[in-house]
Amino acid sequence: MITISAFKWVPDFAQGQVRDLRARWALEEAGLSYRTRLLEQGDQDKPDYRSLQPFGQVPILEEDGFVLFESGAIVLYIGERSEILLPRQPKERTRATQWLIAALNSIEPFLMNVALIDLFYRDQEWAKLRRPGAVQFAQQRLAGLSKALGDKPYLDGERFTAGDLMMTTVLRILGHTDIVMSDPRLATYVKRCTARPAFERALNAQITDFKVAA
């Protein structure tokens, strides 16, 4: 059985955002059951966990002695077992991977710039000066994404893929602002993807683990 690492508890602002959500969502879409390896704060820096995840982060996936870190790699691994996540047709499959990488590489760093300022440095003078520029960069990337999405329901057209799963979790990073949701196309897209029962199950599972630990 697959095991996913997650934190036992995180502060409110991080609940529903921790990246094990990506793995849980993929597993739910694929219809695969899993268990969790819940880390207490500090466990991620212990040598046994660091030997599995060099940066001391969640999630990792473990299955029969096989270990994988990086949520993108984990979603692709799970996607190998689900045509919902990775279409069989080679070009469609590669385009799904393209969107997953775009989410992680071309969108997430820009949204994280804003999120880090807001969540950790809001009151610092340098952060007040930096924020408008960071928001502008994020908006430029989001404008490109919105244009590429156009009127399609999903990034690659009519069907949801692993690319949409990853992009949605990335767009949710700025859920504490209206930077994403003020774009009507992106707002509709995020609502469409997060209305999927598999997302709702994954989110509930993460939040339930925090409630149990609280």
Ligand X SMILES: N[C@@H](CCC(=O)N[C@@H](CS)C(=O)NCC(=O)O)C(=O)O
Footprint of ligand X on this chain (CB under 6 A)?
18-19, 44, 56-58, 70-71
Query: Nearest approach, Cβ of 30 to ligand X (angstroms)?
Result: 18
**Shortest distance (Å) from residue 71 CB to ligand X:** 3
Q: Closest separation between CB of residue 206 and ligand X, Å?
A: 11
Q: How far is the CB of 56 from ligand X (least distance, A)?
A: 5
> Given the complex with ligand X, which of 71 and 168 has the nearer CB atom?
71
Residue with smaller CB distance to ligand X, 114 or 183: 114
Specify the residue, 59 or 87, whose C-beta has the smaller distance to ligand X.
59
**Closest chain position to ligand X (CB):** 57
Distance of CA 208 to the CA centre of its chain: 18
Measured from the CB atom, the residue of 61 and 180 that comes closer to ligand X is 61
Work out how close the CB of 200 gets to ligand X at its nearest, in angstroms, rounded to a whole number.
20
Q: Between 69 and 137, whose beta carbon lies closer to ligand X?
A: 69
